[in-house]
Structure 1
């Protein structure tokens, strides 16, 4: 039954759906069917004097006769041996039992109707989703790296509806749907799969495949479909960084090297390793963030700001805080800062209390 599994459009796209136990669905339908039968038997038996039994000379309608009439009537068999004779019985049949008959028939073929209706809904939903998908984020792979990247994006204010996951594995599809994410089913090395994910209109593309050769092909196809999207890719080996960059990635993260450096730092200095791990984790302790320059901060030195400024982005160029070029902050600058993950009374987040940014002036 369609409400027991993830909703599927048949077009390789799966949306998160409400899930019910098969026993819950079956029990609900049985109870509804029994309720309709029992209610109809009750109506017929209460008004039994308004019915005639052509096969019984006494014309007496018993409880068994009422049950028999109900089953043949609701199933539209209608042998005609028992029939409503009085005006009241005929009115009840016309305005009460007939709607109950329709409801009973819909219940009997409910699964087929549900499947057809579900497919229609999902096709309409997919069409509406394609029209809405613009400037979204495509994440290739829903493994550990993909889930962490999405958690960071959501933690920084991105809506789940603006994220599309691409993955071919059933376990990842189920996990992503359970997390409220839309999934395009397929291999990201194939261009048609990336097209279904709306890569051509995406603002950012994050590629986290398990193999570096798949990453290269995914980056090549994504870049050919979208020349302006910002593509971030993860590779296992540092030797493949240059190749992935040549394929079109704007940023490449070497997972094995990053883990190795963190292990080395933790061995040399456990405290230093803890700080680096804290900066990479979201939601607690310290975080690294980018924010706008505020109007009162224009002309100041990076060291004079309440946040710990570690870099300044000026004219799309990254400068370290000690670079002479950014000795004085100017309008249009963006700040890379280290700050508390949560706003605290003693460390309020600049720019979160309706302050004017330097770009607003």
Structure 2
């Protein structure tokens, strides 16, 4: 008896929740019983072809009504009135309720941050939330026109304002592998880490490296020593507040702070972008500068391959393949424009 009681309780639970197997079983049983009853009633036009019978059932269930197909015998009409139509309406309502419930639950999961984007590739992931800064970061990402159309925000709090078009993931901790996987970190294109503390940021960077060894990670630190360790151990680009330096520059050169802020934000007329000199050839810095000017971009600095520091003007005479060039422009150079620029540089080398 206890076994039967457990089976009954389990079945009742699945029936109340309208599990998929229960729903499909009910539909199958309903169609089979209806088909047998119409066979008994002699409704050969309805049951001779399975496709015709399914069409007849669907028009009945959706309340479209009878037109080209309807019961011809008195027994068939009684079966239709007492069994087929009520059953079809009940099942049709149950299917709609199940679909609506699944849709509402899915939307609620996304709003509550319980979504799962582990298979999303090429995303830009922001880890950590600050009410006064995160929305501005997202605005800058979109304004940068760097194909940042898939943005995922990972935070520990549910009481946040999620900008339109941004996917939201919530976790109890930001440095757990499962939470990071849900936030599409494993196949992300770039990651920004800006948490409540340097310790949490440091641990999160290490966890990210367990999932992806190549993704570019930019992380904010308040302490320079922690930033240095994160750069060395987690291979991230550590960003430390330059408010003090900016304040000094503003005092010595009025307006310098506005220039620094403008160059740091893609929402202004011009900002800093970067590109890599492809290939293994050595290019003349003067020629690189000239080619950038031809497409309305100004060469600002260069970072030699493997070097930690960047060089400003006067630039090194030769720039080897793999050198990162930083330029100021109104928008990022399109891949086609950059390819044409590289072709012209190659032609100059071979000339």
The TM-score with structure 2 as length reference comes to 0.57
Q: Any residues of structure 2 matched to 1:146-295 within 5 Å, and which?
A: 146-154=134-142, 155-161=144-150, 163-172=151-160, 174-176=161-163, 178-255=164-241, 258-291=242-275
Contact 1:203 1:230 in 2 (8 A): yes
Tell me by how many angstroms 1:215 deviates.
Answer: 1.2
Q: Any residues of structure 2 matched to 1:5-84 within 5 Å, and which?
A: none
User: Which of structure 1's runs of 4+ aligned residues deviate more than 6 A?
Assistant: 98-101, 120-123
Q: In the alignment, does 2:299 pair up with 1:299? A: no
Deviation per residue, 1:74-121 (Å, 9 max, x gap): 9xxxxxxxxxxx999x97x959xx769855875589556522455589
Aligned partner of 2:125 in structure 1 is: 138
Question: Which residue among 277, 300, 317 is the counterpart of 1:327?
Answer: 317
The TM-score with structure 1 as length reference comes to 0.56
Contact 1:135 1:201 in 2 (8 A): yes
Contact 1:289 1:338 in 2 (8 A): yes
Gap change, CA 1:87 and 1:269, over 3 Å in 2: farther
Aligned partner of 1:311 in structure 2 is: 301
- Structure 2 CA distance for aligned equivalents of residues 100 and 201 of structure 1: 50
- What 5-or-longer segments of structure 2 have no aligned partner? 1-60, 62-71, 347-351
Deviation per residue, 1:17-38 (Å, 9 max, x gap): xxxxxxxxxxxxxxxxxxxxxx
Tell me by how many angstroms 1:323 deviates.
Answer: 5.8
- Structure 1 CA distance for aligned equivalents of residues 148 and 183 of structure 2: 16
Aligned partner of 2:68 in structure 1 is: none
Deviation per residue, 1:221-265 (Å, 9 max, x gap): 22233333332211223353234335514221123xx23333333
Contact 1:314 1:332 in 2 (8 A): yes
- Structure 1 CA distance for aligned equivalents of residues 154 and 278 of structure 2: 38
Tell me by how many angstroms 1:209 deviates.
Answer: 0.3
- Structure 2 CA distance for aligned equivalents of residues 212 and 235 of structure 1: 6
Tell me by how many angstroms 1:208 deviates.
Answer: 0.5
Contact 1:235 1:254 in 2 (8 A): yes
- What 5-or-longer segments of structure 1 have no aligned partner? 1-73, 75-85, 343-348
Contact 1:294 1:358 in 2 (8 A): yes
Deviation per residue, 1:167-226 (Å, 9 max, x gap): 121133x515x3432425442132321233343333433211011221122122222333
Aligned partner of 1:358 in structure 2 is: 342
Contact 2:209 2:234 in 1 (8 A): yes
Partner-residue secondary structure (3-state), 1:358: helix
